[in-house]
């Protein structure tokens, strides 16, 4: 079955009283909030702006994301997406984009969703961090050479005979 992690925005307002009026589906876990979606799929919602959809068809995904839209703060355009496949097997392991679990019980769904949500969130943050050194040019040149401190500090004698000013 397919799994897609989508970083939709800065935050998801999950505590919003209006979210209960969306008829998003039956909750199977609350931390993270995992809901049943469509004909056998699941959606895990994370407050840091990420949704993980497992075994959800493209039509069901579109409908779900439209209903969720008003609860996304600081939407990303386009959202960051990471796709994986999940299979049922004897061993539990991750091999590239293939995740193998023994069963699709609520705890297994929550763990897989948590891992995928963190993966897409960190990938997005890594892209942002990669842009920072470009803007540090003048400040970076003002830093001392690696392993050497500047000699602008003066040594003072305190009561113990040592001190820095």
Q: What is the mean pLDDT of residues 48-73?
A: 91
DSSP string, 120-165: HHHHHHHHHHHHHHHHTHHHHHTSPPTT---TT--B---TTS--B-
Q: Name the E strands within 26-71.
A: 27-30, 33-37, 41-46, 50-54
What are 90's two structure tokens? Answer: 């004897």
Q: CB of 6 within 8 A of CB of 79?
A: yes
What are 87's two structure tokens? Answer: 């299979």
- Judged against a pLDDT cut of 90, whether residue 156 lies above it is answered with no
Q: What is the mean pLDDT of residues 140-157?
A: 57
Instruction: Please state, rounded to an integer, the average pLDDT across all residues of the chain.
Output: 79
Per mean pLDDT, which range of 4-8, 51-55, 117-121, 126-130 is the poorest? 126-130
- pLDDT for 123-142, tens place per residue? 766 555 555 555 555 555 55
Q: What local confidence, expressed as pLDDT, does residue 30 receive?
A: 79
Q: What is the mean pLDDT of residues 21-35?
A: 75
């Amino acid at each position: 079955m397919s799994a897609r992690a989508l970083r939709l925005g800065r935050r998801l307002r999950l505590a919003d009283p209006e979210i209960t009026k969306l008829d998003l589906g039956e909750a199977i876990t609350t931390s993270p909030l995992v809901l049943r979606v469509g004909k056998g799929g699941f959606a895990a919602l994370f407050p840091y702006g990420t949704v993980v959809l497992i075994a959800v068809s493209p039509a069901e995904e579109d409908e779900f994301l439209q209903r969720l839209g008003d609860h996304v703060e600081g939407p990303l355009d386009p959202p960051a997406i990471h796709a994986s496949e999940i299979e049922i097997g004897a061993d539990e392991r991750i091999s590239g984009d293939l995740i193998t679990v023994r069963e699709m019980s609520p705890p297994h769904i929550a763990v897989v969703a948590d891992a995928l949500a963190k993966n897409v969130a960190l990938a997005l943050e890594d892209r942002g961090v990669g842009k920072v050194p470009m803007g540090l040019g003048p400040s970076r040149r003002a830093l001392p050479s690696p392993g050497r401190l500047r000699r602008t500090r003066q040594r003072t004698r305190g009561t113990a005979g040592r001190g820095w000013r």
